[in-house]
Each structure stands twice: as C-alpha cells, then as structure tokens.
C-alpha cells in the first residue's frame, strides 16, 4: 500500500517521536503503548485496529431484545452491551411486588436461565464480545451467560466481554445496591477468583465513573472517585489472596464523554497516567497489562435534551469524537431519542453509524494520540492529573473509598458540582441549545418506542410455570449449598452456578444472600 499520505498527498506520520514535542515534554510522555500510557495502551492504537463499537440495548422481554441484538450485529456492531431492567438490577423477580410497574422498562427483564437462553438465542457467543451493565447481582447474570454459552458448546475460555460489577459507585451516585459494602466487596473478590480460573478472557469489573458524571461530577471528580474505587477493589482482591498482577489485566473502567471535547481528551490521558502510577507504585504491579487503564466510554446521556431531539445527533458525534481522540477501547453512542424514551431501531442504527463515520471517513484513526504535544491539551492533562491526585488523597485521608462513602464525602462533592451547573443553566450562563437558548415555538411530533404493558403479566406467568415444572428439591438443595458458602468463606459462585443451572431464579439467589448478608440501608447523611 505504500507510505500513508494525507488527502493532499503529503506524508503522514502515524506516531510522533518524543523529539517532536517541545521543551522535553515528549521524553516525559513516552511512546504509545509504554508506561505511563499517557498516549494510549497500545503502540498502534486505531492505526492497527479500531475500538470496539458497542450499542447498549435491552428492553421489554428477552425475545424483543434478542431481535434488537440481531439487528445491531447485522448493522456492523462489534460488541453487544446489555441493559437490564430495574428489578433485575435490584435482584428481584418480575413477579415480586416491589417490581410492579418497572418490568422491562429501562432494560430487559431476566428472571432465570430460560430468559437468558432466549436473550442470546442464535448469537455467536464465541465471536461477539458482550458487556453486561449489572452490579449488585453481577455474578448471577454472568453465570447465567456462562451457562447459556456452555449449552451451545462454547467453553468459558472462549467467552469475551465485561461485567460492570462495580457496586461502590452505586452507594455514591446510582442507588441499585442490595448488600452492605463489605459483603459486596467479598462478592466482587469471589468473582475475580472464579473468572481467573473459569473465564480467563473476561473483564471481571468495569469500575464506573460514568454514573458519577451523570449525577453531576466534574471530569476531575469522575476520574478521582473512580480510581479511588479501583484502589478499594485491588485492596479487597489482595486481602483475598489475589495480587494486582492476577486481577489488574482483567480490570477495566467506564467513563463518560461530554461535549467539552478538549477537556475530555485530557481527562482520558490523565486517567491513564495516574492509574499506571497507582498500580506500579502503590500495589507493586510488574505485569504491564496490570498497569494499563483500559476503558469503555459512553456518550453523555445527561446532556441529551427532549427539546429538538435531532440536535442530540450533533452532541453525540462530538462526544464520540472526544472519546476516540482520548484513546477509548470501546464506545457506545447514545441514540438521539433517549431523552424521550427507549431508542427506536432507526435511532440506534444512526448512533452506530456515527461511530462508523468517525472510524472510516475521518483521519483521526490514522494517527496515534493526535493531540500529543498540543499546549492546550497537555496543560489540561497536567492540571487534571494534579486535581485527581488531590481528590484521591482526600479519600485516602478518610480511610479509603468505603469509609469515604459512609461519610458521604463523594456524594456531597458531586452534589455541590451538580448544583453549580444547574444554577449556570438556569441563569443562562451555560448555554444548552434548544433549552435556554435557540428554542423553537413548536416541536415536531415524535412517536417513541413503548414497552407492552402486558409484559409484566407474561413474565409472572412464565415464572409460575417455571416453578411448577422444575425439580424443586434440587433447587432447594442447591440454594442451601449457596447459603452455607455465604455464611462461610468458600467462593459463592460455585454453588450459585449450580442453583441457576437447576433453574433457581435471580430473585431466589439474591434472597439467600440478603438473608445471610443483610440489606444496605443508607445513613441519614444520604
């Protein structure tokens, strides 16, 4: 193919040498793919392979979501990202009284192995990478996925994907927690150990700053509090006998991409540098893979507007571009109609096409770390790094992420930042197109996607049929084994998998753990 050139036929150098950067900055930054990974975790980045293009999808029944997954695979998505409904996220079955009115509304309802079979029917699980946005009951849904794969002849060592499994941020910014922090961390550590042996290619946790950002965290707060949670998970793993070199290579992160493109690029570069130093200096990592901050990005849902929703296409394109310029490993682009309802098929396809245009019609993927040496971005990177380290030090002073959560520190800091932004928007000092400026008198009609209200009844009927046809004695025995493991120190995922294989439901498994470990109740400060 010859040497790469620009559209003008001029030479194109994919990677700048350190000597190209003024004032010795290049020597400090290093090369892409080398410690401290400021310039990216791989030497060639997108010049050798693009990021994984994921689309976050899941709604209604497993059958409906399965149809959407097939549509996305046909449209060219390289990875699936599963959204679960609120009852599933809370470890509740669809017929639980607390689930009333929420079944299938913000994601797909999964109650048992039967639902998971339908959800992934006909999909090549040995070829696609699957991400599951699930936290408190993450181990339960991961085991259901493994069981379905095994039934289809796909062994655990071939499965690729990520389970979010980040419960600490639930106490800070989201609220879908079940158990108190200590047993929640035990469940996370058990998942680390189980996957090391059974699912070696699986990313066992995606430490998430996205939800903190959606709650109002600044870019510096988003990175600092996320990395502080990452420190807590590594400490929990170490207490369970796992080293940073055991856990680090399968640990990933999840960040937001806002419309403030330059600061977002700097944020991602600073995050890589700080995490590399934490893993090497605080935890003694020797495996380079344990020092690499690999992350998934989602465009900022909180910045989408119900007013003039088509304008969201522009916002998402800018946000996605920032994520790519910042070196993300995978990306989900929000659909333009998500501020109104669940995405329609057309909107989801347009969101994926946004990524494909960036990958194939721009020149940003022909360069590694295009902003290397930029005075604006490099100075922002340094400033963000310093502020991130200051905030992590404050968390450390409080005893670490968990004591800081219990003291309400992160939540109060985020709420203060969110309030400041809200006041700026209300005063008109921060422009939101279509909301406080550039409004239209009338909005064009839009028909959103709606979930069939009969779904809840169908899910309940399916559960009744399941419970009436399964080997109840076998289920009871498996759940008793799970209880004994939870009361002791054995890895709970082993008996949990057997209970799920025998068709115990998500709610039944989580109820056993709640009975042993208790339910988290936030303090009055929250």
| Cα distances (Å, whole numbers) of residue 519 to 371, 513, 514, 515 | 47, 9, 6, 8
Question: What is the average pLDDT across 234-258?
Answer: 95
pLDDT confidence of 526, banded at 50, 70, 90? very low
CB atoms within 10 A of CB 138: 23
pLDDT surpassing 70 at residue 27: no
- Measure the CA–CA gap between 65 and 107, rounded to whole angstroms: 9
Calculate ∠ Cα 519-520-526, nearest 5°: 150
Quick one: pLDDT at residue 343? Answer: 87
Which of 364, 517, 510, 405 is closest to 169 using CA atoms?
Answer: 405
pLDDT surpassing 50 at residue 12: yes
pLDDT tens digit sequence for 442-496? 877 777 778 888 999 999 999 999 999 999 999 999 999 999 999 999 999 999 9
Distance of CA 468 to the CA centre of its chain: 36
Whole-number percent of the chain with pLDDT over 90 = 85
pLDDT tens digit sequence for 155-199? 999 999 999 999 999 999 989 999 999 999 999 999 999 999 999
299 bridge partner residues = 257
pLDDT tens digit sequence for 127-163? 989 999 999 999 999 999 999 999 999 999 999 999 9
pLDDT tens digit sequence for 222-244? 999 999 999 999 999 999 999 99
Quick one: pLDDT at residue 109? Answer: 96
- Measure the CA–CA gap between 27 and 34, rounded to whole angstroms: 12
With residue 298 as reference, give the H or E element that holds it.
Answer: strand 295-299
- Measure the CA–CA gap between 288 and 249, rounded to whole angstroms: 8
Average pLDDT, the chain: 93
- Measure the CA–CA gap between 345 and 397, rounded to whole angstroms: 48
Quick one: pLDDT at residue 2? Answer: 61
Which of 242, 266, 245 is closest to 255 using CA atoms?
Answer: 266
- Measure the CA–CA gap between 19 and 24, rounded to whole angstroms: 8
**Residue partners of 447: CB distance under 8 A and separation at least 6:** none
CATH of domain 36-363+376-427: 3.20.20.240
Question: What is the average pLDDT across 321-327?
Answer: 98
Domains of the chain, by residue range, sit at 36-363+376-427
The full length of the chain comes to 526
146 in Cβ contact with 100 (< 8 Å): no
Q: What is the pTM of this model?
A: 0.92
Quick one: pLDDT at residue 157? Answer: 96
Measured N-to-C along each axis, helices 345-361 and 312-325 cross at an angle, to the nearest 10 degrees, of 40
Report the SS3 class of residue 292: coil
Edge-to-edge strands, sheet with 129-133: 202-203, 160-163, 129-133, 79-83, 52-57, 330-332, 295-299, 251-257, 205-208
Cis amide leading into 81 (omega within 30): no
């Amino acid at each position: 193919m010859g040497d790469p050139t620009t559209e003008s036929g001029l030479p194109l150098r994919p990677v700048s040498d350190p000597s190209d950067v003024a004032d010795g900055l290049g020597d400090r930054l290093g090369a892409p793919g080398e410690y401290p990974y400021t310039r990216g975790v791989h030497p060639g980045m997108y010049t050798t392979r693009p990021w994984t293009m994921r689309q976050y999808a899941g709604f209604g029944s497993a059958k409906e979501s399965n149809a959407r997954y097939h549509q996305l695979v046909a449209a060219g998505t390289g990875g699936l990202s599963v959204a679960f409904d609120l009852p599933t996220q809370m470890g509740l079955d669809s017929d639980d009284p607390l689930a009333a009115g929420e079944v299938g509304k913000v994601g797909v309802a999964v109650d048992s192995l039967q639902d998971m079979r339908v959800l992934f029917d006909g999909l090549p699980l040995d070829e696609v990478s699957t991400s599951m946005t699930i936290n408190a009951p993450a181990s339960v849904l991961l085991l259901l996925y493994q069981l379905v794969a095994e039934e289809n002849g796909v062994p655990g060592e071939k499965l690729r994907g990520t389970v979010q499994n980040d419960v600490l941020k639930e106490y800070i910014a989201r609220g879908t927690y079940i158990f108190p922090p200590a047993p929640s961390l035990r469940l996370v550590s058990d998942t680390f150990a189980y996957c090391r042996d059974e699912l070696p290619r699986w990313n066992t946790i995606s430490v998430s700053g996205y939800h903190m950002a959606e709650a109002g965290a600044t870019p510096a707060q988003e990175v600092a509090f996320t990395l502080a949670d990452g420190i807590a998970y590594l400490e929990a793993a170490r207490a369970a006998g796992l080293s940073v070199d055991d856990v680090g290579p399968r640990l990933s992160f999840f960040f937001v991409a806002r419309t403030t493109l330059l600061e977002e690029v700097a944020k991602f570069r600073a995050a890589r540098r700080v995490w590399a130093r934490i893993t090497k200096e605080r935890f003694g990592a020797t495996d380079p893979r344990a020092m690499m901050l690999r992350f998934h990005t989602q465009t900022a849902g909180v910045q989408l507007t119900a007013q003039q929703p088509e304008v969201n296409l522009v916002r998402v394109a800018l946000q996605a571009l920032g994520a790519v310029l910042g070196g993300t490993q995978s990306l989900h682009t929000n659909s333009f109609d998500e501020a109104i309802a669940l995405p329609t098929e057309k909107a989801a396809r347009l969101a994926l096409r946004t990524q494909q245009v960036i990958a194939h019609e721009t020149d940003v993927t022909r360069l590694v770390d295009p902003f290397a040496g930029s005075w604006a971005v490099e100075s922002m990177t340094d400033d963000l790094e310093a502020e991130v380290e200051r905030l992590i030090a404050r968390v450390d002073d409080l005893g670490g992420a968990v004591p800081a959560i219990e003291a309400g520190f992160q939540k109060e800091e985020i709420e203060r930042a969110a309030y400041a932004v809200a006041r700026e928007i209300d005063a008109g000092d921060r422009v939101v197109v279509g909301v406080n400026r550039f409004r239209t008198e009338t909005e064009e009609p839009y028909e959103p996607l709606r979930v069939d209200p009969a779904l809840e009844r169908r899910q309940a009927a399916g559960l009744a049929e399941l419970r009436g046809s399964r080997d109840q004695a076998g289920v009871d025995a498996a759940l008793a084994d799970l209880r004994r493991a939870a009361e002791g120190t054995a890895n709970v995922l082993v008996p949990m998998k057997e209970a799920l294989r025998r068709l115990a439901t998500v709610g039944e498994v989580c109820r056993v753990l709640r009975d042993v470990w208790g339910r988290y109740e936030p303090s009055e400060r929250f």
